[in-house]
Amino acid sequence: MTDEQPTRTGASKRPSPEGASPAMAQWFALKNENPEFLLFFRMGDFYELFFDDATAAASALDIALTARGSHGGEPIPMCGVPVGAAQAYLSRLIRRGFRVAVAEQTATPPSKMKGKGKVAAQKGPLPRAVVRLITPGTLTEDELLEPGRSNLLLALVAEPSRRGLPEWGAAWIDISTGQFETARCTDAELGHLLARLDPAEILAPPDRDLGEYDLRRTPGEPPSSPDTARARLAESFHVASLDAFGTFSDAETTAALMAVDYVKRSQAGAMPRLTPPMPQEDQDTLGLDPATRASLDLLRARDGGTEHTLFATVNRTSTAAGARMLASWIAAPLTNPARIAARQACWDWLRHDSVRAENLRTILRSAPDIDRALGRLSVGRGQPRDLGALRDGIAAAHLADTELARINGSEEKRPDLIERVLEDLQECAALHDELNDALADELPARLEDGGVIAAGYDEELDTHRTLRDDSRRIIASLQADYGERFGITSLKIRHHAQLGYVIEVPAAVGTRLRSREDLQFRQGTASLARFATEELSELDAEITAAAECAATRERQVFAALVARALDDDKLPALARAVALTDVIRSCASLAAGETWCRPVVDESEAFELVACRHPVVEAALGSGVRFAANSCSLSPEKRVMLLTGPNMAGKSTFLRQNALAVILAQAGLPVPATSAHLGTVDRLFSRVGAADDLARGRSTFMVEMTETAAILNQAGPRSLVVVDEIGRGTSTLDGLSIAWAVLEALHSNLRCRAIFATHFHELARLTESLPRLSLHTMAVRDWKGQVVFLHEVVSGSAKRSWGVHVAKLAGVPAPVVDRASRLLKELEREHTAGPQPLPLFDAAPSSQPAHNEPSGEVPIPDELREKLADIDPDDLSPREALAALYALKKIAT
């Protein structure tokens, strides 16, 4: 943490509460209970912050820091935000890493209690209590959440292992949707898990470094014993034993309880609706370490943006829940071919009926976010529109069900997963009907605004409302009566905040009425006079009483409906089915054209991509430029591909497109290729060279080597490794030697499938000693001394570097380019004439590769070059030209 944010967790050196005013004494007590939080202290229409909280918040929010009263002879620093605008301020504070405790008044101030006669004068401040802790990992409000992204709270507990480094138990909760999952992992795998989950807040022991996630850490409470944790969790989910949900390690169990307890505390004791904890088996998902995720721009690009990412390119979902599900598929691709095929079967089946798929899109587009509405309702923060969201969400699910049932996709029978979706989408009909009857068509934003429950649903509510409205009608009719009785046509009956219902007349006539016995003068201004009558006061009291009864009854009916909805255990499955339908539809639309295919994924060792593309680069190229598709084939006999070629030729793009194809295929999604056959990959490693990583400001050679070490230590025969420009961040000989050794290790020791891109074209000689190495290069053409990139992968190897050409292309001034090319010629001459400058090559056999594969550039024999130089086309007769052509052909063939 930097010096600029010294008080992110609230007041550090708090003044002592001695001698505080009663309200401030209350503040001290609440702050004492929540020392790590900024205390939002409710004062009337404001939340106010004091002492260090005020200083920190004022600077974070850029609002005025003032003072209120004094404490210990010093003014108390204070700032405040209006209650009505609190969401916006909270969201800024949360984004800057603060956590906030909200203290509300827990009784109504007397001034707001109308029509209750005299209230005993309140002594001392109103009672206040912290009703909610707002932390990055426990948000439910739509204003504070990104719709298409999960918001996870992660708890980590170390389980000491005999072999030194601890094993970890992890549990994560998305309180806004109720998702609750657990996993265990080794210390080395913890980074993978963090990168995969990208949690908003992490409860972790202070001694474990979380790297770039350290800023999201919240000190974790010491967990209780595993046995107590098992018992308490089982109790929370109403089962006799936690085993009902799967097998959990001790650390996993304590982490789960820690997460639940934290969530409960943040909701001031209310237990949100959570799915039962689901243990995730690690071997079921494709291993992707943090560096790989970062290099592939899966959900977030390296610049932190979301636009140029794999997710953004394949996302065609139309609901927030669908987007979250698609993101979770990409973040955790599968390894089990059967599960992958089950997903594929769904969209493959749907894509044959584009008309109905489009109808589905229309239905889903207006479907509200059931999960997040349920999340808010379950912590007692639900508003009328959340119930409305359930009503409309279920209705949309039923429509989707009908549409989906009508689809006759390909000839085959419906995929099993679709059958299940069809069943789940039909559920909750009774709840829907109930909500449909109960809720008004137009719902107010807040329950207090009234008019939530439709007329005719609840008899008692209707009675109160009728009483209230009848009295109002009587009052309305009184206006004409009074006008006549007092002979004043401009007389009005108005409701006044302090006075209740009053007669209002112009000041001039007001004086005339003052003497009347049946009118009580209440107030006069320069232009108006206000009077009350006994009749009006009585009606006023009746209206207030009836309105209060109606409001109370409405709250009761609302609460009953909420309870009913939370009780419906089919609703989460229905919401999931809606999200799944959306993802399937999104995939079907992606695969509707001919450019995305359904890959064959099995247990084999195949790696065959035909005419594959990099979806993100392709999308970024725009419509004017064609993306050159490239195939990739790694067979057991040629498991490792060495890709040479100059800078800018398309090596990195090719490398990553193959890695992305694996992710898409194993996530069960369409692949941007004509066809694809992949044997499942257990771990995928993708590294970009130091040179490409400069933007992240971590281009050090050390980082590159650490990442290389990670690959060499972890990759196995089922892994896919794509490495780019290894050994670039150091001197040429150093770098070449390292690249050489790594390539040998990948090929001969790890025996993984690998694509190795390098600008060291010298490495091509290794094919002689490495039988499973295939040589490929990026085709380039020399056109009038300019380098032209064809972006085509061809077999063979680059014969030269083209660095000088690229320099020219980039606009390096001509004299410098000329000088460089003369120097290069000089160096190359020395290199071939003198003794071998690279001792490494002494070991390598010096003969030419046996098979002379075609390469990207065709060498021109010197004799031909000379002959060509002698010819001046402008000087030749047609006959001489023909003769010259014959002569040239003779030399060339």
Site for Mg ion contains 777 (CB under 5 A): no
Q: By CB under 6 A, which span of 81-89, 510-518, 640-648, 666-674 interacts with ligand ADP? A: 640-648
- Residues whose CB falls within 8 Å of the CB of residue 112, separated by 6 or more in sequence, listed in order: none
CB of 393 to ligand ADP, least distance (A): 42
Count of other CB atoms within 10 angstroms of residue 644: 26
Q: By CB under 6 A, which span of 140-148, 218-226, 600-608, 647-655 interacts with ligand ADP? A: 647-655
Site for ligand ADP contains 652 (CB under 6 A): yes
Q: By CB under 5 A, which span of 177-185, 190-198, 648-656, 742-750 interacts with Mg ion? A: 648-656
| Residue from 338, 364, 353, 308 nearest 416 by CA | 338
Q: Which residues, numbered 620-639, are part of the site for ligand ADP (CB under 6 A)?
A: 627-628
| Residue from 143, 173, 282, 178 nearest 579 by CA | 178
Choose the contact partner of 285 out of Mg ion, ligand ADP, none; CB within 5 to 8 A by kind.
Answer: none
Indicate the pairing of strand 786-795 with strand 153-159. Answer: unpaired
CB of 292 to ligand ADP, least distance (A): 17
| Residue from 389, 412, 436, 752 nearest 571 by CA | 389
CB of 812 to ligand ADP, least distance (A): 17
Choose the contact partner of 138 out of ligand ADP, Mg ion, none; CB within 5 to 8 A by kind.
Answer: none
Judged by CB under 6 A, how many residues of this single chain contact ligand ADP?
Answer: 12
* Residue with Cβ nearer Mg ion (231 or 703): 703
Distance CA 867, CA 861 (A): 10
User: Tokens for 238?
Assistant: 């109403």
Choose the contact partner of 648 out of ligand ADP, Mg ion, none; CB within 5 to 8 A by kind.
Answer: ligand ADP
Q: By CB under 5 A, which span of 261-269, 457-465, 545-553, 646-654 interacts with Mg ion? A: 646-654
Site for ligand ADP contains 687 (CB under 6 A): no
Q: By CB under 5 A, which span of 647-655, 675-683, 706-714, 870-878 interacts with Mg ion? A: 647-655
* Residue with Cβ nearer ligand ADP (621 or 882): 621
Distance CA 535, CA 530 (A): 15
Q: Which residue is nearest to Mg ion (CB)?
A: 652
CB of 4 to Mg ion, least distance (A): 36
Q: Is 531 exposed, middle or buried (CB count within 10 Å of its CB: 0-12, 13-18, 19+)?
A: buried
For 448-456, the CB contacts below 8 A with 24+ separation are 448/551, 450/550, 450/551, 450/554, 452/384, 452/554, 452/558, 453/554, 453/557, 453/558
CB of 809 to Mg ion, least distance (A): 15
Site for Mg ion contains 295 (CB under 5 A): no
Q: Is 564 exposed, middle or buried (CB count within 10 Å of its CB: 0-12, 13-18, 19+)?
A: middle
* Residue with Cβ nearer Mg ion (340 or 617): 617
Specify the amino acid at residue 186.
T
Site for ligand ADP contains 653 (CB under 6 A): yes
* Residue with Cβ nearer ligand ADP (31 or 656): 656
Distance CA 749, CA 478 (A): 97
* Residue with Cβ nearer ligand ADP (576 or 791): 791
Q: Which residues, numbered 752-791, are part of the site for ligand ADP (CB under 6 A)?
A: 791
* Residue with Cβ nearer ligand ADP (482 or 627): 627
Q: Is 741 exposed, middle or buried (CB count within 10 Å of its CB: 0-12, 13-18, 19+)?
A: middle
| Residue from 220, 223, 281, 280 nearest 257 by CA | 223
- Residues whose CB falls within 8 Å of the CB of residue 255, separated by 6 or more in sequence, listed in order: 155, 156, 157, 169, 170, 171, 182, 223
- Residues whose CB falls within 8 Å of the CB of residue 562, separated by 6 or more in sequence, listed in order: 377, 382, 387
Site for ligand ADP contains 651 (CB under 6 A): yes
Site for ligand ADP contains 318 (CB under 6 A): no
Q: Are 471 and 546 in contact (CB under 8 A)?
A: yes
SS3 label, residue 585: helix
Q: Is 406 exposed, middle or buried (CB count within 10 Å of its CB: 0-12, 13-18, 19+)?
A: exposed
* Residue with Cβ nearer ligand ADP (63 or 648): 648
Site for ligand ADP contains 648 (CB under 6 A): yes
Distance CA 105, CA 126 (A): 6
CB of 163 to Mg ion, least distance (A): 39
Site for Mg ion contains 719 (CB under 5 A): no
Distance CA 140, CA 319 (A): 17
Residue 644 DSSP class = E
H helix or E strand, kind and range, residue 42: strand 38-43
Site for Mg ion contains 652 (CB under 5 A): yes
Choose the contact partner of 323 out of ligand ADP, Mg ion, none; CB within 5 to 8 A by kind.
Answer: none
Nearest-5° Cα angle at 123, 121 to 128: 115
Choose the contact partner of 571 out of ligand ADP, Mg ion, none; CB within 5 to 8 A by kind.
Answer: none
CB of 659 to ligand ADP, least distance (A): 13
Q: By CB under 6 A, which span of 178-186, 243-251, 645-653, 766-774 interacts with ligand ADP? A: 645-653
Judged by CB under 5 A, how many residues of this single chain contact Mg ion?
Answer: 1
Choose the contact partner of 628 out of Mg ion, ligand ADP, none; CB within 5 to 8 A by kind.
Answer: ligand ADP
* Residue with Cβ nearer ligand ADP (93 or 780): 780
Choose the contact partner of 776 out of Mg ion, ligand ADP, none; CB within 5 to 8 A by kind.
Answer: none
Choose the contact partner of 743 out of ligand ADP, Mg ion, none; CB within 5 to 8 A by kind.
Answer: none
Longest dimension (CA), the chain: 131
Choose the contact partner of 678 out of ligand ADP, Mg ion, none; CB within 5 to 8 A by kind.
Answer: none
Of positions 647, 719, 767, 855, contacts ligand ADP by CB under 6 A: 647
Task: Please measure the distance between the N-terminal and C-terminal CA atoms of the chain and give it in whole angstroms.
Answer: 71
User: Tokens for 402?
Assistant: 């009908």
CB of 749 to Mg ion, least distance (A): 26
Specify the amino acid at residue 846.
S
- Residues whose CB falls within 8 Å of the CB of residue 326, separated by 6 or more in sequence, listed in order: 311, 314, 315, 317, 583, 586
* Residue with Cβ nearer Mg ion (578 or 722): 722
582-621 footprint of ligand ADP as x/- string (CB under 6 A): -----------------------------------x----
Q: By CB under 6 A, which span of 329-337, 467-475, 642-650, 817-825 interacts with ligand ADP? A: 642-650
CB of 724 to Mg ion, least distance (A): 6
Residues that bind Mg ion (CB under 5 A): 652
Binding site for ligand ADP (CB under 6 A): 617, 627-628, 645, 647-653, 791
